[in-house]
Structure 1
Amino acid sequence: MKTILVIGTYDTKDDELHYICQRIADMGGQVLSMDVSVLGDPSAPTDLSKHQVAEAGGASIRQAIDAGDENAAMQIMARGAAALTAQLYADGKIDGMLALGGTMGTDLALDCAQALPLGVPKYVVSTVSFSPLIPADRLAPDIQMILWAGGLYGLNSVCKSSLSQAAGAVLGAAMAVEAPVSTRPVIGMTSLGSSCLKYMKHLRDPLQERGFEVAVFHATGMGGMAFESLAQQGYFAAVMDFALPELGNLMVGSVVHSGPERLTRAGAAGTPQIVAPGCADLVDYAGWQDIPAAYTDRPFHAHNRLIKSAALSGDERRALVRDIVARLERANAPVHVLMPKGGVEEWDREGGEAHDPQALAAMADEMEKTVKAPLGLTMLDAHINDAAFADAALAVLDGWIADGTVKLG
């Protein structure tokens, strides 16, 4: 029997939350209810009251009410709810969570989801699911979101469709989940699709033959966020962070980024890093966005209807390299940078849509000037998709295995 933590403002969404709890119970699950209301009260007591939540957030309901505005009040409740969620899981009292809300409830729910480790089902039913209001760095690596259609005010047949699916989904996930317990050390790798970056094909088998498990993250915003989240937990034996477009996107203001902490958390956790500027020559835009006028005369690649890219100038690439190096210099473990002078993604080869040899040369020059000891640097007369690049990465890793920097057991 699995127990699901159901979180919401029971003063304003009492009927909806009780409906979810009943659906979970009808399917054989158990429920712990958590009330994160501030002003009102539920129709019946919840397992965790709003007073307990506020106290876990370092305050009281009275202090939340007196905070002056609803945002300040809900941040108190969010701190408390996240702390209680983490504690309940650590104590073995819950097997998953489901939270319900509009923008206020969703804001709080995202913190609760991030308080749980990878592999614990975490569902958020929200009126703003999948909205650009939600930045990638607020999302837990394996969060699931369900759009709450017709759910702004009151229980009805339309919103019951979303709520009943959510109840079944979270309970089913708690019953079916295979938590990530690896018997081998894990290499965390970033990449993009193999039409752009192909080193995965050269690296996965040799890494597995060396005794590693390989987890590859899609560096399109949320993938980089998931990578950073696990890196922060010390989940990886080493990382091969070879796709850095999210940093260029952050630099120029694109929405396709992973937040300000990208390329910092592995180093902060003491995880050795092999780094290369894969696809760092391009800035990505959502397919529905207009390319800013300043980029309309740049080399351009339309990947699909969801994402399109324009090339960074030589000066922009120099600035990006300086940012990359500054982040790496904060690391608490060895770092080695690989700079493939022949190109950093498939479309910048000669004849490709993003080919710009002068800007690529500027990137390589800045890398050679900026990377200083204790950071390591290898300048490669190769393209990032060549086998020679993968061989160089494996040579660095093998050296670290030999000297004990990276452990195989």
Structure 2
Amino acid sequence: MGQSGKTIILCCTMDTKSCEALYLKEQVEAFGHEVRIIDMGMKKPSPPGVFITQAQVAGLYYEQIVSSNIRSEAAAYMIKGLKSIVRQLYADGQLDGIMAIGGSGGTTMASAAMHELPLGVPKIVVTTMASGNTLPYVQGEDVLLLNPVVDIQNLNFLTEYILRQAAAVMNGMICCRPLERGKKKAIAITCFGVTTPCVDRCAGLLQEEGYEVLIFHARGSSGGKIMEKMIAEGHFCAVLDVTTTELADEVAGGIYSVGPRRLREAPAHGIPYIVVPGALEMINLGSEDTLQPAQKARTLYYHSPSSVKMRANGAEMKELGEIFIQRLQHSRPGMTKVIIPARGFSSVDMPGKVFSDPDANQIFINEVKYKMPSNVPVMIQDSHVNDRAFADVLVRELLRMMPKTQY
């Protein structure tokens, strides 16, 4: 291994793709790195030369895996073991980058383990899944999928070329300057098209104050979910959560729900956190042909051919208020604040627009205003979310909270 060589973990099913894995190993090691193979296979015992065998990955579940006739059940056990091993290797300084080759099963297992690693650790999967729906594998994170065009079932002129490419890409990524926060302190902001005027104004003001601003499109895995992970990894000194529409999807079955982690990381880590019900009245659905009859009977907004929005009703707005309280109530005093624009939550939630429903919004406002614990102040502003004055208030209040932190 060369002086600048790194340790690359290669995950693969050695019972079906050993020749291809060994070829990729050879190509990566030609750049001076060390490649260690983790066997995810479930059909045959691991061959010699494997760094971590399938039995080690399976651990206590080995007998259940080899005897199971249900592939998904066996894979779930393997994923648990693989996640644990990958986390430990990284913690021990034995993982600088990670690669995998596989079909749908191998890609599912390997990508699940990759999500255990921080942003910035090079992650590559060579898979035909790259040419289809990649959301189950990428999940909004920095996982690179390379499409081999043909299945990785043997070595031929095309698969060898793709594997050489993958090795070269990994070498380039591993030799790149690592991800690191710059001298400027960073602030995260969530955005949607219907809250963009507010976000643009806030971002400009914060940049004038010397902060670096990262804007997350609040569309699920590549929005709120990855932002929460980056908060947990310590990338931000504060968060301005202008657009919380993903919670509406959690309540009413929309497509951008990210689950119970949403709203939790900033309070857990004690950084300044301002939360706004931006686009909270908006439940994000798919194209019109995917709507259920009950959804078609609701108030709808056709944002684009592939995106129909549904107006949250009073009961749903009440439940959203309850979620705000449940997830923010344990915040450290002075570190979290809810600021509500009483005149509307999005560009289609204002007088004359399709989602205008002041009564439904008021149900949310009353729930939060009167039930939120005193450690989380609630400010009601007589303005619309996209009013310039509202953005000014958000930035002013966030800056007031900043000196109370370690940043």
TM-score range, shorter chain: 0.7 to 0.9
SS at match of 1:348: coil
Q: 1:6 aligns to what? A: 10
User: Which residue in 2 is equivalent to 1:315?
Assistant: 315
Judged with a 3 Å threshold, the aligned counterparts in structure 2 of structure 1 residues 129 and 266 are, in CA distance, closer, same or farther, namely: farther
Gaps of 5+ in 1: none
More deviation, 145-154/195-204? 145-154
Structure 1 length normalisation: TM-score? 0.86
For 2:37, the aligned partner's letter is S
Report the CA distance shift for 1:196/1:185 in structure 2 as closer, same or farther (over 3 A). Answer: closer
- Residue pairs, 1:36-55, within 5 angstroms: 36-42=40-46, 44-55=48-59
**1:248-259 to 2 correspondences below 5 Å:** 248-259=248-259
Corresponding residue of 1:270? 270
Q: CA deviation at 1:378?
A: 0.4
Alignment check: 8 A CA contact 2:195 2:278 kept = no
| Structure 1 residues 312 and 65, CA gap change in structure 2 (3 angstroms) | same
Deviations along 1:302-351, one digit per CA (max 9) or x if unpaired, are 33344221211223212222222211124356321011011111122223
Indicate how the Cα distance of structure 1 residues 74 and 264 shifts in structure 2: closer, same or farther if over 3 A, else same: same
Q: Is the contact made by 1:197 and 1:278 (CA closer than 8 Å) also made in structure 2?
A: no
SS in 1 for 2:42: coil
Given that 1:266 and 1:273 are in contact with CA atoms closer than 8 Å, whether structure 2 keeps it comes out as: yes
For normalisation by structure 2, the TM-score amounts to 0.86
Shift of 1:375: 1.4
Look up the SS of the partner of 2:285 in the other structure: strand
Where does residue 339 of structure 1 map in the other structure? 340
Check conservation: 2:118, 2:233, Cα contact below 8 A: no
- Name the counterpart of 1:208: 207
Shift of the 315–79 alpha-carbon distance from structure 1 to 2, 3 Å rule, reads closer
Say whether the 8 Å CA contact 2:220–2:246 is kept in structure 1: yes
Q: Secondary structure at the match of 1:13?
A: helix
**Equivalent residue, structure 1, for 2:356:** 355
- Offset at 1:2? 4.3
Cα distance change on mapping 1:356 and 1:156 into 2, 3 Å: farther
Against the structure 1 CA distance between its residues 73 and 332, is the aligned structure 2 distance closer, same or farther, given a 3 Å change threshold? Answer: farther
Report percent identity of matched pairs.
Answer: 28
**1:279 corresponds to which residue?**
279
The one-letter code of the counterpart of 2:51 is D
CA distance in 1, matches of 2:180, 2:360: 42
Q: Would you say the 8 A contact 1:114–1:140 is kept in 2?
A: no
The structure with the largest helix share of the pair is 2
Aligned residues: 401
Q: Which secondary structure state, in structure 2, belongs to the residue aligned with residue 98 of structure 1? A: strand
Change (3 A) 1:135 1:7: closer
Aligned equivalents of 1:283, 1:103: Cα separation in 2: 31
Q: Is the 8 A contact 2:195 2:385 kept in 1?
A: no
Gaps of 5+ in 2: none
**Match in the other structure for 2:324:** 324
Classify the secondary structure of the residue corresponding to 1:342: coil
- Specify the code of the residue in structure 1 equivalent to 2:304: N
> What amino acid sits opposite 1:37 in the alignment?
G
Separation in structure 2 between the aligned mates of residue 352 and residue 8 of structure 1, nearest angstrom:
53
Whole-angstrom distance in 2 between the partners of 1:382 and 1:390: 10
SS at match of 2:90: helix
CA distance in 1, matches of 2:289, 2:207: 40
Q: Write the letter of the residue equivalent to 1:105.
A: G
